[in-house]
Structure 1
Amino acid sequence: MSSAPPSPSTSATTGDVPDFGWSAYAERVNGRFAMVGFAAILLIEGLSGQTFLHWAGLVPG
């Protein structure tokens, strides 16, 4: 009485496969990196008390 185990109803992987060119996956990753960068700039400005451009030395003053 050996029966095969039931097959899973859903896949363990996501449907987002990296593609060449524009893809929803690439847009999601780029958006996440942009959010991290924006948060880092806010953190730098908050901790240093200067604007990011002044902190980076791009604006004299």
Structure 2
Amino acid sequence: MQNKDRNTWSWGFTTGAENWNGRLAMIGFISALVTELLTGKGVLHFLGLV
């Protein structure tokens, strides 16, 4: 295991990248759910794609 500073950015499948991916996915899911609850339409209908 490498001893790296936690604030440095490294490319690839790192723990930090996976944490951010998970956080952003949760925000996107909640946003889609709130949009559907407020408008009564799914996200694709709301955006006019369907």
Deviations 1:3-55 (A, max 9, x none): xxxxxxxxxxx857532111011000111001001100000000000111110
- For the aligned residue pairs, the C-alpha RMSD in angstroms reads 1.7
Q: Which runs of 5+ in 1 are unaligned?
A: 1-13
Per residue, is there more helix in 1 or in 2? 2
Contact 1:16 1:24 in 2 (8 A): no
Q: Which of structures 1 and 2 has the larger relative contact order (alpha carbons within 8 angstroms, sep 6+)? A: 2
Structure 1 vs Structure 2: percent identity of aligned residues?
Answer: 41
- Is the contact made by 1:41 and 1:52 (CA closer than 8 Å) also made in structure 2? yes
Alignment equivalent of 1:28, drawn from 19, 41, 47? 19
After TM superposition, the score normalised by the length of structure 1 is 0.66
**Once superposed, which parts of structure 1, at least 4 consecutive aligned residues long, lie more than 2 Å away?**
14-18
User: What is the aligned length?
Assistant: 46
Give me the TM-score of the superposition, normalised by structure 2: 0.79
| Higher Cα radius of gyration | 1
Q: Distance in 2 between matches of 1:41 and 1:57?
A: 14
